[in-house]
Structure formats: C-alpha cells, structure tokens
Amino acid sequence: MMKKFLSFLLIAMLVLTLAGCGQKAPAPAANAPKEEPKAQTIRIAHTLAPESHYHKGLEKFASILEQKSGGKLKAQIFHSAQLGSERDAIEGVSMGTLEATLVSTAPLANFSKKFMVFDLPFIIQDRAVAFAAMDGEMGKGMLASLEAKGIKGLGFWENGFRMLTNSKKAINTPADIAGLKIRLMENPVHVETFKVLGAQPVPMPFGELFTSLQQKTVDGQENPLVIIYTSKFYEVQKHLALTGHFYAPAAFLVSKSFYDKLSPELQKALSEAEQEARKWEREYCINLEKDLVAKLKEKGMEVTTPDKKALQEATKSVYEKFKAEIGEDVINALLKK
C-alpha cells in the first residue's frame, strides 16, 4: 500500500513540474520604463599636453557633441601621445581601431600627396587666405582624398605658423641654420626644406622630442608658438627664431567605418559639433598667440626675427621639386591673394 502511495505521489509531482515548465513568463507591465540605448563613445587621440590648444578645442567639441546628439555621442580625449604617435593615430583611424584623432597635417602627406602643399615653405602668409581655402573646395578635395584610406576628414583646425628653436645659437640668416640637427616631423617637404638650408634633419615622433632636446640628441626643433610654450620647450631651448617658415593647420579625422555606421542624425550632430569647435579653437589660438612671444621671453628665451625674404629665396627650389606631386592647382589655391 505504501509503495502505491509513493508512486502516486511521484507521478503527481512530475505532472505539476511539467505544468509549471509550460507556463509563459509574465509579460512586462505596460507602464514599465524602456531601457535607454547606451551612448556611443568616440575616442579621440592627440599628442599634445592637456594645456594645449588641441585639448582645449577638443574639450569644447566634446561638450557641443553631447548636447547636439542628445547624449547619444560622447567624446573621450587621450592627450600626450597616450595612444601613440600621430602616425599611429592616423593608422588607427584608417583601420577602424580608433574613432578619431586631431593631428598636424604633415604626417598626412604619407596618406595623400595633396597635404604636402601646407608644408611648402612660406606658401601661407595670411591666415584669412588659408582659412578660405581650407574651408572651401580645395580643403574639401584634400579631405576627400583620404576616404580611400578609410578616413573621413571633417575639417582643418588651427596650429599656427611654425617657428625655429635651438640650444646653440641665435638665428638671423639662412646661413645660421647650417649644421644644426633639427628634429622634424616625418614629412618629405620638411626634410627637403631644412636640407637646402644646410641643416641635418632628424625625423622623430613628437612624444620623443622633449627628451631628445634635453639630452642634446638634437639641437633644435620647429613648432608653432603655442606648442613651444605649452610643451615647455623653453626649459631645454635657449634661442627662438620667428621664422614662420611653415603654416601648420591640424586635421580632425574620423574613422570612416565608424562614421558610416552612425545614423544621419548623429552624423549631422558630429559634423556640426566639429564646425563649431573648429571656429572656437581657431579664435582661441589667435588670441593666445598674441602674448606668447612675451611669455617665452619671460621664460628666458632669446628671440630673433630673421630675414624672411632671404629664407624664401634660399628655399624656392623646394617648390620645383614637389610641384608635380602636389599639383599646381592646389599650390595656386593657397598662393592666391
């Protein structure tokens, strides 16, 4: 009798279990809050200090972007070459392993020959001419030339006119540059320019520069005043020459694979945020530059103003060497007054 009771009990428990398994999960309440999609993060790399114009401009961009995208896009900024050199950042954007970067245009010559035009010595003397060309058809064409490499160029930011510093002697004439070991970016036009001036070009990533100046591996370097100041090169360089030999814009680049996955609404928010931040960053640089020579003198640098006409004459052969590669139409767009 006991065995029959136990068998009946087991069968009953099994039936109840199976019935329970067949029940549907309760439907969510009609008024339950919907889960908001997570914001997408745009990692932006640059090689300068957090006090730099790049970083200030990117902070402005991040703020505008979050507001315009309704919080759907957020920017995370990596400064001081935390994610590698400018070349590393450009390659990361190209391959889609990094969402965005702000870089000087010189390394972009390795990805599109059109960018070499900015590096021709003394081609830019007037910022207004440069801004008009970069924001117009010439600039759009240059940025479009990067798309085959997986890069979406959004716009050109400000860097300033590049000046020459060194730890050995004052620079007043082209002859004074001869023999100096000058750190340059990895750019063929820059290298050729300093070769014709008799210097010893030493291409190296920006992240290695301060230590190389400190250890006297190189005698000098060339950069816009804002970078010379915010990177504290005055601690390891005595002489500043206001040569203005190259004009140095910066390019805001986004991974094309990342950009193409965004909705049209978010693409619009990204483009508008870049345009507004670009305008703000340009004005910030121009205003900052006005006081930088005095500040660098206060830091102990000795400042000279070399003969620009003599420097132009000494470097005019560089135009002939690169004219075919760059394109005369691009050169003329910047030379136009």
Mean pLDDT across the chain: 90
Mean pLDDT of 129-154: 94
* Least confident residue range of 4-18, 37-51, 134-148, 160-174: 4-18
Beta-bridge mates of residue 136: none
Alpha carbons 69 and 76: distance in angstroms, whole number: 15
Contacts of 53 (CB under 8 A, 6+ apart): 158, 159, 226, 230, 281, 284, 285, 288
Q: Between the CA of residue 174 and those of 137, 155, 177, 180, 198, what are the distances in Å?
A: 35, 34, 6, 11, 8
CB 226 within 8 A of CB 292: yes
What confidence category does residue 35 fall into, taking pLDDT thresholds of 50, 70 and 90? low
> Is 118's pLDDT higher than 60?
yes
Give the mean pLDDT of 259-272.
98
Weakest-pLDDT range from 14-23, 128-137, 184-193, 288-297 = 14-23
Q: What are phi and psi of 322, to 5 degrees?
A: -110, 0
The CATH number of 40-335 is 3.40.190.170
Distance from C-alpha of 325 to C-alpha of 206, rounded to nearest angstrom: 26
For the chain, the domains span 40-335
User: By CB neighbour count within 10 A (0-12 exposed, 13-18 middle, 19+ buried), where does 267 fall?
Assistant: middle
State pLDDT tens for residues 74-86. 999 999 999 999 9
4 or 72, greater pLDDT: 72
